[in-house]
Structure 1
Amino acid sequence: MKQDLVVDSDEALNRKMYLVNNALDEIGFTWCHAKLFMLAGFGYSVDSQLDAIQSSVKVVVDRQFGIDFPVATQIFYVGLLVGAAFWGFSADIIGRKLAFNLSLLLAAVFRPYYWWNELVSHLLAFGAGGNIATDVTIFLEFSPAKYTWLTTFMAAFWGVGQTVAVLVAWAFVPSHLCLAGTPCPSSENRGWRYCWYTNSGIVLGLALLRLFWFDMNESPKFLVSNGRDAEAVATLHAIANKHERLCSLTLEELLDCGEVKDAHDFKTNGYTVKSVFSAAVAHVKVLFCSKKIAYLSTLIFLSWTLIGLCYSTFFNFVYIYIQLHGGNTSGSTYITYRNTSISQFVGIFGPVLAAYMVTFKRLGRRGTMAIGAIITMGILFGYTTVRTQLQDAVFASLTYFFINIYFACLCAYTPEVFPAIARATGGALGVLFSRVGGIFTPLIYYYGLKSGSSVPIWVCGAVIGFLGFIALLLPFEPTRFRSV
């Protein structure tokens, strides 16, 4: 049996988590876990889907309304940032269940007019912004230790969402758009609206599946972290009984471990501004409770910031660079969406390979991250030689595949090494820092359009290579431990 990864100084909480982990391992993997995996994966899909559709239609939207600076992208990333902070922090306070069910509903909104489009873009991004932080946390806290590799595999849904978004754009935009340099009334530029209607319908359907297909229990690790031991035991026994599995954990065993120091039982004591703020501050302090944990948190948050900046900057800037240096990758709008759909589809399989690689103890999460990042660096450097549509399609596919290997492991590593009492907070801060990096993308995109310099591509490649080095410096390897 694996040992628990102890990163919190609360001995009572550590002992209780040991017992909960034993109970989860005793119950094993059930149909309940399979459904939760799918529904949590929807969160990844929606997050990337809405980001991709925003990028796919921004040119035709700006053309219709005569917008020069990429306002829509800026507003969208601000919404993602606020959403990551709100849903992540609240998931450690109000619980995982409410955040899990509500976030997708808020992301299913239609957007027909420009300023209404921008306002709702912010609200939509707010709804989707916390999915990565909360959804992988929820699945991890129900999962037996033997199956935690699925948290890496789950990032395949990220590629699914991007592929769906681009396929929808491919279906509607080329046949319903006005050409550059011509009058662009709304009646001749309906494609971007059809994209948003279709994607909002898909997201709404996924949100309703969460609500009605799966009767989710609150996470037992969240309950134990907040002094609700009886509910945690009841939840574990309910899962075991439903699937005819054994669960020998008793309430007396948990109570004998003592009281959790930083528990905040809001269900009993109610919510006040002071108590909620106090709990949020306490959760952040857990992430810096010792020098080693502070070092861990700093490296994780730095990694999220840099990948957020590089991921967004590269895919917004690369086509500008190629066109300004004599290449022709644009072709027709139809060809552009076709090639993008292919590369996004290939990217789905990066996390699939990553999930296999992390099962090797010599590689683990850290080694797999390093490999994905270093190979991506080489591909990005090579991208400066691209001049044709075929070259662009090949390099884009390789880039998506290998960068998603790194991204999948980072998304899994973050909640695995943080304790349950502050797990969603840590995930939220990671995603928040990635959004901070992403906010600078429109600025680089805007000024890169004028300069045509290759510097942004070289910088992105170097920074992603540096991320591979950071991965090797991370102090814990989750493959050898159980998350607490």
Structure 2
Amino acid sequence: MPPASDTLPVGERPRAAVAPSADTAGSMPNIVARLERLPMTAYQRRIFAIIASAWLVDQVDVALLTFLLGSIVVAFDLTPTQAGQLAAMTFAGQLVGNILAGTASDRFGRKTVFQVTMVVWGLASLAAAAAWSLPALMVCRFLIGVGVGGEAPVAQAMVSEIVPTNVRGKYVAFMEGFWAVGYVLSGALSYFILPHLGWRWAFVVVGLLSGVVLLVRRGMPESPRWLADHGRAAEAEAVMTQMETAVARCTGRPLPPVPAVVAAEPVPHRSAIATLFSPEYRLRTVMAFGLWFFALIGFFGLNSWIAVLLKDKGFSIVGSVGFVTLITIGGIPGFFTAAVLLEKLGRKATTATFLVCAAGAAYLYGNAADQTWLFVAGFVMQFFMFGMWSCLYAYTPELYPTRARATGAGFASAFGRIGAILGPMVVPILVQTGGTAVAFQVGAGGFLIAALLVVTLGVETRGQILENVSH
């Protein structure tokens, strides 16, 4: 996947595609046709890098509590119930952010909402460093969740709408894979900062990083698909022309001709929320909401407590953070593998496979007899769980039309946050009543139910233009 050159051979100038007629320029079919015939070049990769870099820093902040929770429990003398409530506040904020930013993005545009979400969680992270009590820290973690949760559906929609069909799933999966990298970086950051500066400085570092990424993000264009779908033809035409010029400059060759028809006829406009529950999309919505709920109740129920559970097995706080960081490295090849298989095997088969394998690995981890098997099972578990995330983010936005894409992704993710809230609160009860193994068995069960929903209700979207598959 080497980037195309940004420079032209001496003496050559790119030739633009044939200009559309005045009555079709900026229309939805015209914009879709022109977008889909563009080759993937360094220009689209730069846009992707802007989105992915912000996503990376966001996930460092989300994962932070996994590694800092042990220190915070000591600092505020928290009971297991209070620790679970603190962990749940991030997910409660993400639930609100998923819904608010998803619907706002479909109404007001991708770029503006994308910028606002980063300001919210960046400032909240800095405020968390100064939290003087558990309630204050809970409020900060809630606001961090609002910002990060709000960014998720917007990022999914933006990448899906700009990247060509033949690599769309792969790039959305790559974007989500930056979460695995963020998780590892969050663990490494905590590992080095905790012994010397304490947990508060970890929040300071991440909050400052948000300001850097915000400056980079200002160069991102608005989605021409969104502009055309909202009747802003002149703006859609301007952004599309800018993209075509940039792609032609990267390739140094004439752009491919614009196909006559590439998109299905649009269905009558409804509100974004009404679209999710209309007859055309009802089963997809049931599948997406259930998929996210059961997958996330398993993932966060296990990961939010994994460092604390290791402490109960004899690890020190710093030692448990180091152990979790090492097994989380397994998530990096996991998301790369998922990204490739999404385009080779398809969305349904890859998503179901990773969910089933995550369930098996979670069961083995919960029943590991010694530290060697604990590490092996944990590494494999993270491989499939982070690959699962790539599948969720690549698959969900493809199920809905442009006018409801971010809303659908946001609501599905919000249902997942309900599972994420319940997971950390249920795990301590399971541990107290049945032991660690029972908690991991329940998490595995969540993954299996999610896989069943995909197999029975899912539709295949691989290789299809968004406007076709979303109808």
2:216 alignment counterpart: 209
State the one-letter code of the partner of 2:189: V
> Is the 1:88–1:427 contact (alpha carbons within 8 Å) kept by the matching residues of 2?
yes
Give the C-alpha shift of residue 44 in structure 1. 3.3
State the one-letter code of the partner of 1:359: E
Percent identical residues: 22
The one of 285, 290, 302 equivalent to 1:302 is 290
The one of 377, 395, 417 equivalent to 1:435 is 417
State the one-letter code of the partner of 1:229: A
The one of 46, 52, 57 equivalent to 1:35 is 46
1:8 alignment counterpart: none
Flag the 1:321–1:31 CA change in 2: closer, same or farther, 3 A.
closer
- Equivalent residues, number: 425
1:345 aligns with 2:329: yes
1:24 aligns with 2:35: yes
The one of 139, 142, 158 equivalent to 1:138 is 158
1:268 alignment counterpart: none
2:457 alignment counterpart: 474
Flag the 1:343–1:207 CA change in 2: closer, same or farther, 3 A.
farther
1:289 alignment counterpart: 278
State the one-letter code of the partner of 1:196: F
Stretches of 4+ moved more than 6 A in 1?
Answer: 247-250, 257-260, 319-324
Aligned equivalents of 1:379, 1:204: Cα separation in 2:
38
Aligned equivalents of 1:319, 1:449: Cα separation in 2:
14
State the one-letter code of the partner of 2:150: G
SS at match of 2:407: helix
Give the C-alpha shift of residue 415 in structure 1. 0.5
> Is the 1:47–1:132 contact (alpha carbons within 8 Å) kept by the matching residues of 2?
no
Flag the 1:473–1:333 CA change in 2: closer, same or farther, 3 A.
same
String of CA shifts for 1:421-476, please: whole Å, max 9, x gaps.
Answer: 10000010011111111111332134235324333321211221222222222342
Runs of 5+ in structure 1 lacking a partner?
Answer: 1-12, 177-189, 263-278
String of CA shifts for 1:143-173, please: whole Å, max 9, x gaps.
Answer: 1212212112222101011111110110022
2:4 alignment counterpart: none
1:67 aligns with 2:55: no
Give the C-alpha shift of residue 260 in structure 1. 7.9
Aligned equivalents of 2:305, 2:192: Cα separation in 1:
24
String of CA shifts for 1:365-418, please: whole Å, max 9, x gaps.
Answer: 110111111111111221232143332222111111012222211111100121
Flag the 1:313–1:234 CA change in 2: closer, same or farther, 3 A.
same
2:186 alignment counterpart: 165
1:53 aligns with 2:37: no
String of CA shifts for 1:118-150, please: whole Å, max 9, x gaps.
Answer: 322222221111222110210111112122121
2:171 alignment counterpart: 150
The one of 400, 406, 422 equivalent to 1:418 is 400
Bigger shift: residues 464-473 or 156-165: 464-473
> Is the 1:366–1:474 contact (alpha carbons within 8 Å) kept by the matching residues of 2?
no
Aligned equivalents of 1:457, 1:417: Cα separation in 2:
31
SS at match of 2:30: helix
1:397 aligns with 2:379: yes
Aligned equivalents of 2:411, 2:214: Cα separation in 1:
24
Aligned equivalents of 1:460, 1:17: Cα separation in 2:
43
Aligned equivalents of 1:80, 1:228: Cα separation in 2:
30
SS at match of 1:241: helix
Give the C-alpha shift of residue 249 in structure 1. 6.5
- Let me know the Cα RMSD of the aligned residues: 2.7
2:149 alignment counterpart: 129
Flag the 1:375–1:446 CA change in 2: closer, same or farther, 3 A.
closer
Flag the 1:450–1:439 CA change in 2: closer, same or farther, 3 A.
same
Flag the 1:331–1:293 CA change in 2: closer, same or farther, 3 A.
same
State the one-letter code of the partner of 2:296: G
Aligned equivalents of 1:298, 1:415: Cα separation in 2:
14
Aligned equivalents of 1:34, 1:210: Cα separation in 2:
14
1:184 alignment counterpart: none
Aligned equivalents of 1:395, 1:478: Cα separation in 2:
32
Flag the 1:74–1:114 CA change in 2: closer, same or farther, 3 A.
farther
Runs of 5+ in structure 2 lacking a partner?
Answer: 1-23, 249-253
The one of 225, 229, 242 equivalent to 1:238 is 242
Aligned equivalents of 1:154, 1:94: Cα separation in 2:
23
String of CA shifts for 1:165-199, please: whole Å, max 9, x gaps.
Answer: 110110022x24xxxxxxxxxxxxx5101111112
1:271 alignment counterpart: none
2:442 alignment counterpart: 459
1:198 alignment counterpart: 205
Aligned equivalents of 1:477, 1:370: Cα separation in 2:
12
String of CA shifts for 1:42-85, please: whole Å, max 9, x gaps.
Answer: 34323432221012112211221222212321322221111111
The one of 55, 59, 77 equivalent to 1:44 is 55
Give the C-alpha shift of residue 243 in structure 1. 3.4
Give the C-alpha shift of residue 355 in structure 1. 1.4
> Is the 1:233–1:249 contact (alpha carbons within 8 Å) kept by the matching residues of 2?
no
Aligned equivalents of 2:317, 2:70: Cα separation in 1:
11
* TM-score scaled by length of structure 1: 0.81
State the one-letter code of the partner of 1:481: Q
1:91 alignment counterpart: 105
SS at match of 1:27: coil
> Is the 2:66–2:307 contact (alpha carbons within 8 Å) kept by the matching residues of 1?
no
Give the C-alpha shift of residue 287 in structure 1. 1.7
1:355 alignment counterpart: 339
Aligned equivalents of 2:369, 2:419: Cα separation in 1:
28
Aligned equivalents of 2:400, 2:204: Cα separation in 1:
38
Aligned equivalents of 1:53, 1:469: Cα separation in 2:
32
SS at match of 1:67: coil
Aligned equivalents of 1:464, 1:42: Cα separation in 2:
29
> Is the 1:236–1:247 contact (alpha carbons within 8 Å) kept by the matching residues of 2?
no
Flag the 1:394–1:114 CA change in 2: closer, same or farther, 3 A.
farther
> Is the 1:96–1:218 contact (alpha carbons within 8 Å) kept by the matching residues of 2?
yes
State the one-letter code of the partner of 2:175: M
Aligned equivalents of 2:32, 2:190: Cα separation in 1:
44
Flag the 1:337–1:58 CA change in 2: closer, same or farther, 3 A.
closer
Aligned equivalents of 1:208, 1:160: Cα separation in 2:
21
SS at match of 2:152: helix
